[in-house]
Amino acid sequence: MYTNNKLRNVAIIAHVDHGKTTLVDAMLKQSHIFRANEQVAERVMDSNALERERGITILSKNTAVMYKDIKINIVDTPGHADFGGEVERVLNMVDGVLLLVDASEGPMPQTKYVLRKALEQGLKPIVVINKIDRPDQRIDDVYDEILELFMELGADDDQLDFPVVYAIARDGIAKLNLEDESDSLEPLMDLLVKEIPAPQGDIDGPLQLMVTTLDSDEYVGRVAIGRVMRGKIREGQNVVVISGDGEQKERIGKVYVYQGLKRVEVPEAPLGEIVALTGLASASIGHTVADAENPEALPTINIDEPTLSMTFGVNTSPFAGREGQFVTSRHLRERLFKETETNVSLRVEETDSPDTFKVSGRGELHLSILIETMRREGYELQIGKPEVIYKEINGQLCEPMENLTIEVPQEFMGTVMESLGTRKAELSNMTELKGYLRLEFTIPARGLIGFRSEFLTNTKGNGIMNHVFRGYAPYKGDIPGRSRGSLVAFEQGETTPYGIYTLQDRGTMFISPNQMVYEGMIIGENSRELDMDVNPCKKKNVSNMRSSSSDEAIRLTPPRILSLEQALEYINKDEMVEVTPESIRLRKTILDKAQRGRMRKTAK
């Protein structure tokens, strides 16, 4: 059994916003990866534009630092449960995890989700309690909560005896005891080298490598990333790519390893190293790259099933093709199926219509990130209402359930509890924090659709909510939908200030003056239950009569502008969201007013 003592592979796992990417920044800076005069962006690992805007990690990424002649491969993982597919894959590449927990918030739902996956794989954990300089820190309580969490997740004795480091990741400081003096991350790095096991295996055996991530390069094409589980891998080597469909002979082009944020070409990489390979056209996530003479497959990666689906269709509105570059069903089909190659927890299915596809994912955020990415690439599409995926288990209809954690000031507790009661949520735990209440619920996944915007309104923006998939449970019964109808334009044209002014008393507007609308487009929310067809393009009649009020300026209430997630949450079953690179519009599935009326009558 060979042990590669010059190497450590570790993943950093944490809840959203607990400082994971900031800690990696500090490690990179202290290992002198950057030149002294180099301008370095904050959260350098969040390289994707959407990650920077939202302040969350969406894609797992690899980097490496050198510490006292030992190379440490670091994998930065997403903290959001919707991107759990990313986490499950990359945990196969490492031997240990750094569990990062906020010194005030303590372990949160997503921490629990990723930690469970890590413990199931028998990985060695090191706990880092971060942000110890917060005025509201409660380090002792947080430590107890972490210990309880480990016991709840069934950690073995070795995992329960986890070492703890106290850190201020933003300042690049870590210490083993709170009273210690420290001005660097050295105590953490020393502990990491000592506690995380070095990769072990048969270095002289036939090659085995599991592909866990795919990347693409405009010069070399597909790049397969994975860890060498057995043997060595070298440039130009003949290999076999083993998938569920059989074996494919391939030849490795170049072999790269990670140094800092760069990939460096090497002639050969030994057991335990995380490598990026070119030349493997047939390699996909979960496939094994094996020796050509003795091909042996590694166990496949099990990914949790999707829980939410939406229909993606070609844009059929009167404004189709005005703003986007890719508008046909062929473009849409190619893009969606290409996404499934790298996004393992996504499913794309054909439907009866050649212009519509059923796309299933892990949650609203997972799917809305895909939609947002596509619109930025120049795609036009229309999206149907999100629907949960039901299963029949032992002859009983079951639906996905979520663990929902909410933090609210005490004065908003009543309205939040009332709102969740109608959504079939059950309270499981309540904890009092400084001025806040932390409430834990079990709620059907469909009860969360549309809840976030309502929750922020009810708490006046002071509430924090997080949720994570719990499992399937028997169907909980009907949940009432949206209580208000839509204001629908009944003709195409340009909106006028006068037309909008006459409609303001009818409900909340989603549009501004001088904006183009079409028949069947939703321009606002009705203050009553039913839909109403209206004309926002109405012009003021001109006459030669003077009136005392005619010259008064028209005062318009600012419209409510919906983000992509809010639009997806808002729509009913007979409505869609039209997404283009420049606009997000709401519309009725059937645009013609007369046809909608006939459909309503037949439905009755």
What's the CA gap between 287 and 284, in Å, rounded? Answer: 6
DSSP state of 379: B
Q: What are phi and psi of 334, to 5 degrees?
A: -60, -45
- Give all strands of the β-sheet with 208-217 in edge-to-edge order: 246-251, 238-243, 288-291, 208-217, 221-230, 274-278, 255-259, 262-266
Q: Tokens 């440039």 correspond to what residue?
A: 235
Burial 536-548 (b: 16+ CB within 10 A, else e): bbbeeeeeeeeee
Task: At 170, list the tokens.
Answer: 């933003």
Calculate helix-pair angle for 139-152, 109-120, nearest 10 degrees.
Answer: 50
Q: Which residues are annotated as a binding site for GTP?
A: 17-22, 130-133
DSSP 477-528: ------SS-EEEE-S-EE--HHHHHHHGGGEEE---TT-EE-TTEEEEEESS
First to last CA, the chain: 73
- Rg of the chain over Cα atoms, rounded to whole angstroms, equals 27
Q: Which of helix, strand or coil describes residue 217? A: strand
DSSP-assigned letter for residue 412: G
Q: Give backbone dihedrals phi and psi of 457, rounded to 5 degrees, phi first.
A: -65, -45
User: With left for phi above 0 and alpha for psi between -120 and 50, is residue 429 left, alpha or beta?
Assistant: beta
Q: DSSP class of residue 378?
A: T
Q: Which of 533, 492, 520 is nearest to 587 (CA)?
A: 520
Residue 490 Ramachandran class (φ > 0 left, ψ -120 to 50 alpha, else beta): alpha
The token duo for 186 is 């050295």
CA distance 60 to 342: 11
- Binding positions: 17-22, 130-133
Residue with tokens 């592909």: 211
Cα gap 326→335, rounded to integer Å: 10
